[in-house]
Amino acid sequence: MKNILKNEYDIQQMRISGKITANVLEMIEPYIVPNASTEDIDKICYYYITQVKQAIPACLGYKNFPKSICISINDVVCHGIPNKKLLLKNGDIVNIDVSVIKNNYYTDASKMFFVGSVSKKNKLLCKIAKKSLYLSLKCIKNKKKINTIGKIIQQYVEKKNFSVVKEYCGHGIGKNFHEFPHILHFYNQNDYIIMQTGMIFTIEPMVNEKAPFVHCMEDGWTVKTKDGGLSAQYEHTILVTKHGCEIITHQKNEKIPKILFNT
């Protein structure tokens, strides 16, 4: 197996990078309002990442992605491209996905925002997506099986009568955007990989209101639900520790603690 374990120096650098990613998601909140253009939101993030934090937006230019962040609204599952003609409107649910590089270390996180007043039904979808991520964090610890993550997420989401997108998964992350191992958000009994202290990976479940099926638009990026149902996603970069995990991209307003001690 490739060496996928981080040393103390790597971990310190990932904490620095992760704090910047978290700060972007905290900073952007007041700008998520009706009539805001997604291009303006992207520009604010670009300025903050490059000028305030002296970091690099990892999405910009990645496989020719044209913007600094992904903004995915309502039935857009992921990889929505900011655009000056694309405005937020009252009632939208919006995922903002931020990846930064600081001192050559990548971190990745996303969360949902509500534009104006959002329906109870749509808030519930977001709540279930967030809780599926949080529940999975409680099973992370040195020596546990990685496929427990997907098992927990899928069981919880399907019990709530929502569905899990199967086409996109979490990933190891460090000096590269995407590293080994793959983190599926559904159960795979053939995945025997074991978590180890010093592994860092993302968990980023995409949860659909209706069917799990998705398709990619002509722009080559924007992924939407096939049936037009809404989709929600939360993502964190996670460090596996001896006794649990550390949320590398933890944000101030989160109810879950940054460091988890798991059984």
Residues at the interface with Co ion (CB under 5 A): 108, 202
Nearer to Co ion, 154 or 202 (CB): 202
- Which of 98, 114, 104, 105 minimizes the C-alpha distance to 46? 98
The answer on whether 182 is annotated among ligand-binding residues is no
Residue corresponding to tokens 């040393």: 7
Q: Is 219 in the site for ligand MF3 (CB under 6 A)?
A: no
Which of Co ion, ligand MF3, none binds 248 (CB below 5-8 Å, type-dependent)?
none
Any known ligand binding at 179?
no
Binding of ligand MF3 at residue 236 (CB under 6 A)? Answer: no
Name the burial class of residue 148, with classes exposed (0-12), middle (13-18) and buried (19+) by CB atoms within 10 angstroms of its CB.
Answer: middle
The answer to whether 129 and 212 have CB atoms below 8 angstroms apart is no
Cα distance between residue 44 and residue 133, in whole Å: 27
Rank residues 79 and 130 by Cβ distance to ligand MF3 and give the closer one. Answer: 79
| Residue 34 DSSP SS3 | coil
Q: Of 202 and 241, which CB lies nearer to Co ion in the complex structure?
A: 202
Cα separation, 235 vs 140, in Å, equals 15
Q: Is 235 annotated as a binding residue?
A: yes
Interacting stretch for ligand MF3, rule CB under 6 A, among 36-44, 62-70, 156-164, 255-263?
62-70
> Which residues in this chain contact ligand MF3 in the complex, by CB under 6 A?
59, 62, 65, 70, 79, 97, 99, 108, 202, 204, 221
